[in-house]
Amino acid sequence: MNYRSPLQDKDTGDYGLNTYPAGWVGEKYFNLIVEPLDAPGQEMRVKITIDARGGMKPSTTIDTFEVGATTLKASGSMSETTLKVNEYGFMLSTDINFEENIVKMPIAAEGETVTFDNLDTDTRYYARMYISTDYGDVYGMTRQFKTETTKSTLVPHNVEAEEVTVNIGENYPDIPVGTREGYTFGGWYSDEALTKPFDITAPASVIGNVHIWAKWTENTVETTEATTAATTEATTTPSGSGEKQGCGSTVLSTSAIAITATVCAAVLTLKKKKK
């Protein structure tokens, strides 16, 4: 059996089942629950004691509740109360009874959003607001949610490398690019035209496939003049009486080309006759 308590009307001063006193800041009604007796003729006495110094407990309202892959962002408020509030905020647990694995996140200012980071993926959580007062703690309704595994997959091009998959918020592993003869690796790009650099060190933020292209820059070879190693080979073929030396072949050779030139040298020998 449920009874509304008879309270004084704030306007007329009368007492009634649906009235509440002046200055009321709590819920408009509260209920007294009486368990029915199990046999006729039984009597039960009920004694109700109200500590007027404590006032009425506040209520909580969840304003925003955003679940990410590994995060929960939430904001909330509480009603006015005559109780002294020490702290209020959100509490989180993997236990529906909030007896273990409890994490509390106080709200420092009205309207502030609190964030629970690094939540386990594919895990069911329970969240509720709490208000800590000098007369005990007050709890709001419990919400349950489950984090999801959202993946990001890098699909590399222009290299012989396999795809890599990570959860959103995690860092991509290093992708071995190997070597390409005559070229130097110049980083990753998010477009085939290689105009938009891609930061592979940043945490994954895109769900699904992410195509990236490796940039290769052709090596430039500086041409230097080869040292000319000239080998001169002179072959003299006598002609005449020996007073004139004939032509010989001179060979100039480098690593690239060989040039053969004909060199002729005439030597005149004068002899003085005896008288």
Query: Is 211 in the same domain as 169?
Result: yes
pLDDT of residue 241: 45
pLDDT tens digits, one per residue of 58-72:
889 999 999 887 889
260 within domain boundaries: no
Most confident of 4-8, 72-76, 203-207, 268-272: 72-76
154-157's contacts with Cβ under 8 Å and 24+ in sequence apart are: 154/200, 154/210, 154/212, 155/209, 155/210, 155/211, 155/212, 156/188, 156/212, 156/213, 156/214, 157/192, 157/211, 157/212, 157/213, 157/214
Query: Is 142 in the same domain as 86?
Result: yes
Query: Is 78 in the same domain as 128?
Result: yes
Beta-carbon neighbour count of residue 244 at 10 Å? 14
231 within domain boundaries: no
Answer for the pair 26, 80: CB distance below 8 angstroms, yes or no: no
Mark which of 146, 167, 200 sits at the end of a domain.
146
240 within domain boundaries: no
Query: Is 64 in the same domain as 93?
Result: yes
The whole model's pTM is what? Answer: 0.41
Q: Which domain holds residue 28?
A: 1-49
* CATH number of 132's domain: 2.60.40.10
Mark which of 91, 115, 146 sits at the end of a domain.
146
pLDDT tens digits, one per residue of 5-60:
444 455 555 545 445 555 656 555 555 555 566 667 777 676 665 554 445 778 89
Answer for the pair 126, 95: CB distance below 8 angstroms, yes or no: yes
Answer for the pair 216, 158: CB distance below 8 angstroms, yes or no: yes
38 within domain boundaries: yes
pLDDT of residue 169: 84
pLDDT tens digits, one per residue of 212-258:
999 999 998 653 344 344 444 444 444 444 444 445 544 444 444 44
Q: Total domain count for the chain?
A: 3
44 within domain boundaries: yes
Query: Is 129 in the same domain as 179?
Result: no
pLDDT tens digits, one per residue of 144-160:
998 876 788 999 999 98
* SS3 per residue for the chain: CEEECCEECCCCCCEECCCCCCCCCCCCCCEEECCCCCCCCCCCCCCCCCCCCCCCCCCEEEEEEEECCCCEEEEEEECCCCCCEEEEEEEEECCCCCCCCCEEEECCCCCCCEEECCCCCCCEEEEEEEEEECCEEEECCCEEEECCCCEEEEEEECCCCCCEEEECCCECCCCCCCCCCCEEEEEEECCCCCCCECCCCCECCCCEEEEEEEEEEECCCCCCCCCCCCCCCCCCCCCCCCCCCCEEEEEEECCCCEEEEEEECCCCCCCCCCC
